[in-house]
Amino acid sequence: MKFTNEKFNSEISEILERAVKGDKISEKDGIALMNSNDILNLGTAADKIRKNKVGDIVSFVLNLHINYTNICVSKCELCAYYKSQEDKDGYVISIDKILEMVKKARQISNISEVHIVGSLNPEIPVEYYENILKEIRKNFPDLAIKAFTATEIFFIAKRNKSSIKEILERFKDAGLNFIPGGGAEILNDEIRSKICPNKLKSDEWLNVMETAHKLGIRSNATMLYGHIESNEDRVMHILKLRDLQEKTNGFLGFIPLSFHPKGTNLYNKGLVTMPVSGIDDLKVIAVSRILLDNFDNIRSYWVMLGKNLAQVALHYGANDFDGTIEKENITYAAGKISERSANVEELKNLIKGAGRIPAIRTTDYKIVKILE
């Protein structure tokens, strides 16, 4: 395949040709791609790789997001969602209420997955997490539970003076199936010291994931971009995920998260004043697909991209549309005007409108139903 739109830079065309042939792309070449403005050729190559790898089905899951607490000691500069322990708007949802939420979503939307993520709340004992898992498992035996990011697992282990492995084993026994990809932010400790100084370090995030994968708990991976990171940081992050995937093959999918600054300290301090452009969003999706040769699934996360750009991203290497979600909180808190849920008909139409085949999937990307 020849990339003829690249009029000025034959270096980019040459890298893309190698990528489409299936070669692993190096750090140096990855940086050249991330620095390139040749968005059409990047998209064409990523789309070709997507087609060769996973075909034309674009999947999504019927799911519910629950954020069990917003009280957080981490107080990340990137986050608009957290409250301090003294704040009157701080909350912790009771296990009964969580069960009620799941029951309702199950009855109304027939969800197959619950995604449970919170913040670093020192007042919550390990038994609370364990009981959420046990009660959901008992009441909804076939529901996939994707819960607690590597950041939360690390925090819970420390607070409980346990090892990561012990906590993961306890949670697995209680019913945990998968771990979400959040908390990765940018896997560069210098950037982390500015955007999330109190969170776990890059290697610690990777270590939680490696430990989980070795215990048979598969996970997603994310990257938060569009704040103070450079193109080099983005590429290094993606390559760290590729290296771990080489070792464990435990990542199910990659979810680039486009940063929404409003209401965050990064915004209040004038360090990040607006989200990245749509072109940058598409470039991140395309370069991720090109570099992550050992990931099957690249997600177009409509919550952060907005539904229409998320649809376009299906032509830039993405093959998954996340889920119905029911009620998203984290991006919503950061001033995103995007809707907080999607229905099956809407996702189906967006996917069909992109010329792809819509399908409902399980959490681990098995196709349940193709939507005609």
Binding site for ligand V47 (CB under 6 A): 78-80, 180-183, 185, 220, 222, 224, 255, 257, 259-260, 264, 304, 330-331, 334
- DSSP-H helix ranges across the chain: 10-21, 27-35, 39-54, 95-109, 126-139, 150-159, 164-174, 189-195, 202-214, 231-248, 265-268, 278-291, 302-305, 307-313, 330-333, 344-353
Cβ at position 250, least distance to ligand V47 in Å? 13
Euclidean distance between CA atoms 13 and 165, whole angstroms: 45
Smallest separation, CB 260 to ligand V47 (Å): 4
Q: In the complex, what is the shortest distance from the CB of residue 224 to ligand V47, in angstroms, rounded to a whole number?
A: 4
CB of 176 to ligand V47, least distance (A): 13
Closest residue by beta carbon to ligand V47: 182
Would you say 71 or 330 has its CB closer to ligand V47?
330
Q: Which two tokens stand for residue 348?
A: 């189906």
CB closer to ligand V47 out of 236 and 257: 257
The β-bridge relationship of strands 113-116 and 57-61 is unpaired
Pairing of strands 367-370, 357-361: antiparallel
242: tokens are 């590729």
CB environment 86-112: b (16+ within 10 A), e (fewer): eeeebeebebeebbebbeebbeebebb
Residue 172: CB partners within 8 Å, gap ≥ 6? 215, 216, 217
**Toward ligand V47, which CB reaches closer, 175 or 180?**
180
The C-alpha atoms of residue 320 and residue 41 are separated, in whole angstroms, by 21
* Residue the block writes with tokens 């791609």: 33
Q: Which is nearer to ligand V47, 48 or 65 (CB)?
A: 65
Task: Give least dist CB 322 to ligand V47, A.
Answer: 6
Nearer to ligand V47, 242 or 260 (CB): 260
Decide whether 78 or 292 has the Cβ nearer to ligand V47.
78
Return the H-helix or E-strand segment holding 368: strand 367-370
User: Helix axis angle, 10-21 relative to 39-54, nearest 10°?
Assistant: 0
Taking the complex as a whole, how short is the minimal distance between the CB of residue 193 and ligand V47, in angstroms? Answer: 16
Residue 107 CB, shortest distance to ligand V47, in Å, is 23
Q: By C-beta, is 259 or 295 nearer to ligand V47? A: 259
